[in-house]
């Protein structure tokens, strides 16, 4: 399934894993499109541009400026759907645009919740919705499987502690596992990552990640598909002028590191089907660069006039 998240004010990260579905593939050519938004007065204008030459796949106005954009495979379909999450009073309202002008509304979550979009926790190839909030020092996950379908189901899971960073990863190739990352029993030596299978309850603990990754300004571990279709972890860090991409195996082994000049937006997708694994599309004020952490190659494209968006989100609507 697809993935995306907000790291900081200047960086938005989106990731997804390779499967029968290719993230942001609105034109159904087997490659991720460059999907971006801009604003027209108070509305969100969506557009997509194929990675290679081709016609624009989508041009729609849907949502308001403060909405959280969460495109993805929210229903059984050959291509993704546009969707947003809106804060309405004390509630979160999830809105799905079906392409014919109809909008489906679902109320799920409360003000202050962290929204997680784009995961597939049950492995049925339909995106599931989740929210996380802290309660009495613990992290409470509320998960709605198949949120926009008639056969949705709800789960509530206590997993993680205050200060942990939440994520998810396709750990064994068939579904996403819940992830929490933070300080372990020996925080001066290493950071710790835990994974949980929602359906079976199995928990696995991985020690030995660099302690710096669990520092106060730590990045969130994100899933990015490796050559075998399973996920590895991507960490994104920034200094005053550069953005650095680090990848680690689920066992805590460092796989790659690459720094690109500039601060901006990063989107993970399958932009080059001839390359191993997935790439990171990085856009700043100057250009777009597409970096493959497996082959350590970088290609350049003209920037788009908007903000790149993707299917997995970790953010709270305003």
pLDDT one-digit tens code per residue, 208-239? 888 888 876 678 999 998 876 689 999 998 88
Which tens digit of pLDDT belongs to each residue from 28-87?
A: 888 899 999 999 999 999 998 876 655 677 889 999 999 999 999 999 888 899 999 999
* CATH number belonging to domain 5-315: 2.120.10
134-143, 216-225, 242-251: range with lowest mean pLDDT: 216-225
pTM: 0.88
pLDDT in tens, 192-208: 999 999 999 999 999 88
* pLDDT of 217: 65
Least confident of 4-13, 89-98, 234-243, 278-287: 4-13
* 269/146 Cα distance (integer angstroms): 22
For the chain, the structural domain boundaries read 5-315
Question: What's CA 66's distance to the chain center, in Å?
Answer: 19
> Taking the CB of residue 15, how many other CB atoms lie within 10 A of it?
29
- Please give the Cα distance from 183 to 235 (Å, whole number): 16
Instruction: Go through the chain and tell me how many residues it has.
Output: 318
Predicted local confidence at residue 216, as pLDDT = 62
pLDDT at 55: 61
For residue 3, count other CB atoms closer than 10 A to its CB.
Answer: 36
């Amino acid at each position: 399934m697809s993935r995306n998240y907000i790291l900081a004010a200047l960086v938005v990260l989106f990731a997804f894993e390779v499967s029968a579905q290719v993230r942001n593939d609105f034109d159904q050519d087997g490659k991720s499109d460059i999907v971006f938004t801009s604003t027209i007065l108070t509305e969100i204008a969506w557009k997509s541009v194929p990675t290679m030459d081709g016609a624009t796949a989508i041009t729609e106005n849907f949502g308001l400026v403060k909405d959280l954009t969460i495109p993805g495979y929210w229903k059984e379909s050959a291509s993704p759907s546009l969707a947003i999450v809106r804060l309405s009073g004390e509630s979160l309202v999830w809105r799905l645009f079906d392409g014919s002008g109809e909008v489906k509304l679902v109320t799920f979550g409360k003000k202050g919740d962290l929204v997680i979009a784009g995961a597939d926790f049950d492995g049925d190839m339909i995106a599931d919705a989740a929210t996380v909030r802290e309660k009495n020092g613990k992290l409470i996950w509320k998960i709605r499987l198949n949120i926009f379908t008639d056969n949705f189901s709800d789960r509530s899971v206590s997993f993680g502690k205050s200060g942990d960073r939440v994520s998810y990863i396709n750990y064994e190739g068939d579904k996403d596992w819940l992830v929490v990352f933070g300080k372990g029993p020996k925080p001066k030596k290493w950071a710790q990552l835990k994974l949980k299978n929602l359906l079976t309850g199995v928990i696995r603990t991985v020690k030995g990640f660099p302690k710096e990754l669990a520092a106060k300004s730590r990045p969130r571990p994100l899933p990015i598909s490796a050559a075998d279709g399973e996920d590895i972890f991507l960490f994104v860090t920034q200094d005053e002028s550069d953005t650095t991409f680090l990848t680690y195996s689920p066992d805590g082994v460092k796989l790659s590191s690459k720094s690109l000049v500039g601060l901006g937006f990063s989107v993970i997708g399958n932009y080059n089907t001839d390359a191993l694994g997935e790439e990171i599309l990085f856009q700043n004020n100057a250009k777009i660069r597409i970096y493959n952490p497996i082959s350590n190659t970088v290609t350049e494209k003209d920037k788009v006039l908007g903000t790149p968006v993707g299917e997995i989100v970790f953010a709270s609507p305003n």
